[in-house]
Structure 1
């Protein structure tokens, strides 16, 4: 089988994705099944390794496959009942459960479900295909097309001293891909890194697999950073890098207070520490965006990463990095991975930035997210009452709930699976055993009729799982 010559509107990763779905269905059994390697599939289907990697990342996100360090990708069978779910890693169990038919998935984090720009992107692509026929499209831009890199550089520029150029921007297949590159370029393997906690499990798992020593800096219940703890770590440990969110930190839903941002910037400068800024949710705050952390720190010790997927939808999965330094190594790493990204789609995204459509979209999306959060808050108060505590999220698509009673959250997770409800236990967002009394719930539902039943089930599961 070869994927060369697929129709222009049918990108290679989509064809690979469908091929893999069929392959997984063919090999399904009662045990885990090892799938072909990236190189094997690349040779079999005659596409780049990065295209195979991106298709696998989509399948992994859906819970159809999972990766094992230094071993490859494996497929789990479609579980027919909670009893047949794998008994291993909690994250694997969550992924497998979420793909079972009929499940009410409350564990997700997909803001663009409320409003995506997929249709607009496809319309722009049809227009651009006429301007850039297939035979004129270049695949030899390993760091992304210039138009999109320039649009992002302009987007992140805030002053003459805090400005970015197109050459400072690097675009990869997805967020995982660019984070893998950053781990190599920043030399994180075997190093010590301070990370805000709770933190996205994708980031934590990648750091863990790379052998990074992660020191977690928990958010306080009132929504502030423990600056004394941060200074103590910087003073006592050899730390060259701190990973923090730009504006809104999820899943905690906290917006960093201006005084905290300024204090963090001063501490980083005092100890000569770099900031690795997570801007994935930087434009999804409910209030007018304040000054981002990156605009307060020393720009000579700053690297920013983000992706388009949270604001645009699944048709814009690309991740990207902004860095003024290490250009040679960044270019080398992107070249080695040979990301074959659609130049047409990148140009379409650039046009959305340049014509102001993304700004209009974000205004509408933030409003929808804010309204959904308000409605979800009322439901939580009604169904869970004094069983949980939470702060109203400052942005994004999720709530971070803490149990007021000591509970076995894994028991809660398992009991809800039996009732076809999937939640994300808090322990997934820590490598240090934190947040065992928390869970994350999504609030991006369009009047889902089963939501009331699902929340009532969460309340009952919390009651039955009390340990004290």
Structure 2
């Protein structure tokens, strides 16, 4: 008799909780009543409630978080359109939807932007220059902006740049394509640090370039001996490395290791492309950039403004001391026509010191926000992922502590309207299958803790035996 009563009570609690979870709206995970509160509400024992919760957790309907309780996971939504089987296409298609919580984007200026100041300067300049100040076509970029960039990158008489060394393009991808065509890298081998940004990887692949990935260690370093062996045996034409910080994982290579790496690169005489899109977002500004250690005749610096200023400043740029005639030829062929007033406005942000002041505030805000997010990740996902606190940038790189099908995790989260960046996007060799990236500049008005609970549920449900 007692067993029948226990069975009935257990089924009653299960059905009650099942209805609660079925009515959970799309979006963040919803916290469920505690064991003690629900036992008192339904007038059953705590063990009966515990049994019901355990079954729902096995069915993937709820998720338990130590010291926080139980959360109802949103039901999958099947009305999200899919665009192909390619993970990057699905990422971008989902991130464009207004009803998705984009948790994997690398957009530092969502936290603090200079777009307003930039557009204000542009309006002032328009009053001073109602017509284009110089009707002649400037295929290499506005002279004022090129001068501002040259001054920004000049750090000494030894490491100095001039406006003739600077070239402006519509965006970073356009710069990369110009470099590939100018140096005739098509169908050759290019070495990159892995994980690597997908815009670099996809651009190289589009030219039939063989991409060789060298994985950095947990501290952000690359083994100089491994690099030397690859350069010697793989006939590498160019090496792409970050200026100071690995922009995907937010890790900075130790200074001594960076110096040894530069010696190897200079010894082999390969082209070195320094990616400086995130260099200004390093929290520690003491370490010298890679460019100060590389043979200037084999050095190319590529950067962009959007990670520092905002989405209203999409332009990319190139610095090179090698054969101006070569770059002139390529840029004339491509005939970039960029709005001169917008370029002048960006130049004024540099020359007035406003950009430097903005970057100080942005770095501080990013460091604080990533500290908060790191604490939440440690609390809610500490049993499922490992990570190191980023040393710059806007994102956190997480590594699963258990073997999971990260592709299915990605898909499961898309069904629940959460967009993370799975590690496979940052490799062309199928590396980083157990990793994912989340952003500290996601919409903080949302319930971030509940989002992390949903991610935990997806990681648990997609574990591999």
Query: Which 4+ stretches in 1 moved above 4 angstroms?
Result: none
Cα contact 1:242–1:276 (8 A) shared by 2: yes
The answer for the alignment partner of 1:88 in structure 2 is 85
* Structure 1 residue 292: Cα displacement: 0.3
> Structure 1 97/445 Cα, relative in aligned 2: closer, same or farther at 3 Å?
closer
Q: 2:379 aligns with which of 351, 371, 382?
A: 382
Q: 2:98 aligns with which of 101, 104, 108?
A: 101
* Structure 1 residue 130: Cα displacement: 2.2
Q: 1:154 aligns with which of 151, 174, 191?
A: 151
Cα contact 1:82–1:417 (8 A) shared by 2: no
Query: Aligned runs of 1:17-96 on 2, under 5 Å?
Result: 81=78, 84-96=81-93
- Is 1:465–2:465 an aligned residue pair? no
* Structure 1 residue 231: Cα displacement: 1.4
The answer for the alignment partner of 1:45 in structure 2 is none
For residues 146 and 426 of structure 1, the distance between their equivalents in structure 2, rounded to whole angstroms, comes to 40
Aligned to 1:158, what secondary structure does the other structure show?
Answer: coil
Matched positions, count: 389
The answer for the alignment partner of 1:258 in structure 2 is 255
* Structure 1 residue 448: Cα displacement: 2.5
The answer for the alignment partner of 1:398 in structure 2 is 395
Query: Aligned runs of 1:445-456 on 2, under 5 Å?
Result: 445=442, 447-456=444-453
For residues 171 and 346 of structure 1, the distance between their equivalents in structure 2, rounded to whole angstroms, comes to 9
- Is 1:202–2:199 an aligned residue pair? yes
Q: 1:440 aligns with which of 422, 437, 440?
A: 437
Gaps of 5+ in 1: 1-79
Deviation string, structure 1 residues 447-466 (Cα, Å, up to 9, x no partner): 32232221111001000110
- Is 1:132–2:134 an aligned residue pair? no
So what's the TM-score if we normalise by structure 1? 0.81
For residues 383 and 122 of structure 1, the distance between their equivalents in structure 2, rounded to whole angstroms, comes to 41
Cα contact 1:240–1:272 (8 A) shared by 2: no
Greater mean alpha carbon deviation, residues 364-373 or residues 118-127: 118-127
Q: 1:273 aligns with which of 270, 274, 278?
A: 270
* Structure 1 residue 136: Cα displacement: 3.4
Query: Aligned runs of 1:241-252 on 2, under 5 Å?
Result: 241-252=238-249
Aligned to 1:97, what secondary structure does the other structure show?
Answer: helix
Deviation string, structure 1 residues 416-444 (Cα, Å, up to 9, x no partner): 11111011110110001100000011111
The answer for the alignment partner of 1:233 in structure 2 is 230
Cα contact 2:102–2:442 (8 A) shared by 1: no
The answer for the alignment partner of 1:298 in structure 2 is 295
Which structure has more relative contact order (CA 8 Å, sep 6+)? It is 2
Cα contact 2:220–2:246 (8 A) shared by 1: no
Cα contact 1:246–1:278 (8 A) shared by 2: yes
Give the CA RMSD over aligned residues: 1.4
* Structure 1 residue 82: Cα displacement: 5.2
Gaps of 5+ in 2: 1-76
* Structure 1 residue 312: Cα displacement: 0.2
* Structure 1 residue 234: Cα displacement: 1.6
The answer for the alignment partner of 2:6 in structure 1 is none
So what's the TM-score if we normalise by structure 2? 0.81
For residues 389 and 368 of structure 1, the distance between their equivalents in structure 2, rounded to whole angstroms, comes to 24
Q: 1:184 aligns with which of 181, 185, 190?
A: 181
Cα contact 2:132–2:340 (8 A) shared by 1: no
Deviation string, structure 1 residues 205-263 (Cα, Å, up to 9, x no partner): 01011111111010112432122211111222212311100101121211121111101
> Structure 1 82/210 Cα, relative in aligned 2: closer, same or farther at 3 Å?
farther
- Is 1:284–2:287 an aligned residue pair? no
> Structure 1 186/82 Cα, relative in aligned 2: closer, same or farther at 3 Å?
farther
Cα contact 2:219–2:251 (8 A) shared by 1: no
Cα contact 1:409–1:437 (8 A) shared by 2: yes
The answer for the alignment partner of 2:119 in structure 1 is 122
Aligned to 1:441, what secondary structure does the other structure show?
Answer: strand
Deviation string, structure 1 residues 62-101 (Cα, Å, up to 9, x no partner): xxxxxxxxxxxxxxxxxx9456413421111111111223
For residues 237 and 148 of structure 2, the distance between their equivalents in structure 1, rounded to whole angstroms, comes to 30
Q: 1:317 aligns with which of 291, 314, 318?
A: 314
